[in-house]
Amino acid sequence: MADVDPLLNLRAAIAANKPPIPTTSPDASHAQDVEQNLAKASFLQFNHEDGQHRAIPLNTPTRFLSGSQPIDLRSVYFTWLKKDAAVPEYITSVQRLNEELAAPGGAGGAVKNLVFAEKLDLITWLEGGSEESENIKPLPSETSQAASSADIAAGTAGGISTVPSGAPKAGKAQPDPRLLEIYNCERRMGDRNSVLRGIKPTDFSHVRKHAASLLGHGKRAGHAAQTTMAASNPALVSNLKKPSGRRPEPIILLSPSASSLLRMSNIKSFLDGGLFTPADSASGGPNLLHLMRTIPSIDPSRPLRFILVDSPDQFKPDYWQRVVAVFTTGQTWQFKSYKWTQPAELFSHALGVYVGWRGETVPETVRGWGRGVICAQVDKWTPNQGATARWRDREVVEQIWSAIESSMRAKGWTKDGIPSR
């Protein structure tokens, strides 16, 4: 049932900002029942806003499939906890937890080490960024509903019984047997609800949220006003029919070099907030980030969601088509694991971005790569410097975004994505 589904319970807890509590007992009536170590915990306690309390065993299989095999709740919850961890840290944490699970006193079993695409898909669904996932099996109720709808649409079950105009009435003489045979061959028709349902259950709740953001009225807008606006704006109707989150997300690759001014720990505050801060020297930050940005010449009504990574190790072949920008320090070793290892070929497919200190000379290697690379410079960072002193950072950021927009438009990006090449 949906109310005890581990994935739905975890997603609801994340949306309500009430993370579940690992415990050793399904009741968890005492403080000593709480066990934050997943290697020793046996249950995950959910405390929902409606007052419902559910304890689900951590070894419960979920509907999320990895390699056609369902993974357990412990693996799903652990992946969520490590959503911001770098790839090496995530892999090390999985190995360490599996060792503790197998050790004396451990709960037993093992957590699944998800690949890049599966991890991204799971985290996006749990955060509410998408309403469906190709790796999540539908609930049994949804499957039976789809089968029932298919039978009704085919006319083999359900629907409204037809009453032929020539059918016999009570108290009347029996009709001709041939006429009864004809009546028995008539097809049973479904009503408008069953016919319009189709054979695949689809959740359109995201359309309501998307429409509210476009119309700007939310719940206060009446049905008549929304209908009038949609009828007068065909483009709006077209947008509503397209589920959000299904178009390809452009990818920005960062340099993993320790000498790079922009790394995973400070790139979002720079590109999103227009403020440069020094990168964390102890860590490169999370291995994957998301950033929303409106690109007016491509889609002025809906922001694009960009993916920021510093390594293509987990890339699928089609991911390279979505790379729109590559940040570089001028060191060619950065490209050795790329699809295009030569700078001239790489920057003919994606925009190159070099960011250095203002007043310093751009490296000869970068200048030799030609117009495929944009060079930007930021003011040097000084201690105790306030945000007001960094007012020129915003100008540099807008310069970079303008170049990315021009490059994407030249490569054929539209509001629906990029044409296959």
User: Rounded distance, CA 216 to CA 221, Å?
Assistant: 8
Q: Where are the domains of the chain?
A: 2-127, 140-197, 205-240, 251-410
| Arithmetic mean of pLDDT, 50-63 | 86
Mean pLDDT of 324-353: 92
Nearby residues of 3 by Cβ (< 8 Å), 6 or more positions away: 52, 54
Q: How far apart are CA 242 and CA 129, in angstroms?
A: 15
SS3 343: helix
Q: What are the strands, taking DSSP E only, across 38-170?
A: 43-47, 53-57, 61-66, 69-72
Asked if the model's pLDDT at residue 224 lies above 50, the reply is no
Q: In this structure, how many other beta carbons lie within 10 angstroms of the beta carbon of residue 37?
A: 13
pLDDT class of 243 with cuts at 50, 70, 90: very low
Between vectors from CA 404 to CA 398 and to CA 410, what angle results, nearest 5°?
135
pLDDT in tens, 4-18: 888 898 998 898 888
Give the per-residue pLDDT at 144.
56
Q: How confident is the model at residue 191 (pLDDT cuts 50, 70, 90)?
A: low
Contact criterion met (CB below 8 Å) for 328 and 369: no
Q: Rounded to an integer, what distance in angstroms lies between the CA atom of residue 251 and that of residue 254?
A: 10
> Which stretch of 5-19, 111-125, 172-186, 318-332 has the lowest confidence by average pLDDT?
172-186
C-alpha distances in Å from residue 160, one per residue of 152, 156, 165, 265: 10, 11, 15, 61
* C-alpha distance across the termini of the chain, in Å: 44
- Other C-beta atoms within 10 Å of 383: how many? 5
> What does the pLDDT read at residue 421?
53
Share of the chain above pLDDT 90, in %: 28
pLDDT at 244 over 60: no
CB 306 within 8 A of CB 291: yes
As a whole number, mean pLDDT of residues 268-284 equals 80
pLDDT at residue 237 is higher than 60: no
* CA-based torsion, 222, 223, 224, 227: positive or negative: positive
pLDDT band, residue 376 (cuts 50/70/90): very high
Average pLDDT rounded to a whole number, residues 257-268: 89
* Strand intervals (E) in 221-366: 251-253, 289-295, 299-309, 323-327, 351-357
Q: Is the pLDDT score of 194 beyond 70?
A: no
Residue with tokens 């409106």: 294
| pLDDT computed for residue 60 by the predictor | 92
As a whole number of angstroms, the longest Cα–Cα distance in the chain is 105
**Does 212 have pLDDT greater than 90?**
no
Query: Does 233 score more than 50 pLDDT?
Result: no
Q: Please tell me the distance from the alpha carbon of residue 133 to that of residue 143, in angstroms, as a whole number.
A: 15
Six-digit token string for 239:
């947008």
Please tell me the predicted confidence (pLDDT) of residue 283: 52
pLDDT of residue 173: 59
| pLDDT number for residue 232 | 46
Say how far apart CA 353 and CA 372 lie, in whole Å: 9
Angle between helices 87-102 and 73-81 (to 10 degrees): 140
**pLDDT for the residue numbered 222:** 46
pLDDT computed for residue 130 by the predictor: 80
pLDDT over 70 at 279, yes or no: yes
Closest CA to 4 of 139, 137, 191, 123: 139
Q: Which CATH number does the domain 251-410 belong to among 3.40.640.10, 3.10.129.10, 3.30.160.60, 3.40.50.11990? A: 3.40.50.11990
Determine contact, residues 53/46, Cβ cutoff 8 Å.
yes
**Residues 81 and 87 sit within 8 Å (Cβ to Cβ):** no
Q: Phi first, then psi: what are they for 200, rounded to 5°?
A: -125, 120
Mean pLDDT of the chain, nearest integer: 79
Examine the pLDDT at 155 and tell me if it is beyond 80.
Answer: no
- Dist CA 84 CA 94 (whole Å): 14
Residue 156's pLDDT is what? 55
> Which of 57-71, 153-167, 231-245, 322-336 is predicted with the least confidence, judged by mean pLDDT?
231-245
pLDDT reported for residue 161: 47
CA distances from 407 to 300, 310, 371 (A): 17, 20, 11
Average pLDDT (91-103) is 91
Q: Give the angle 114-14-319 at the CA atoms, nearest 5°.
A: 40
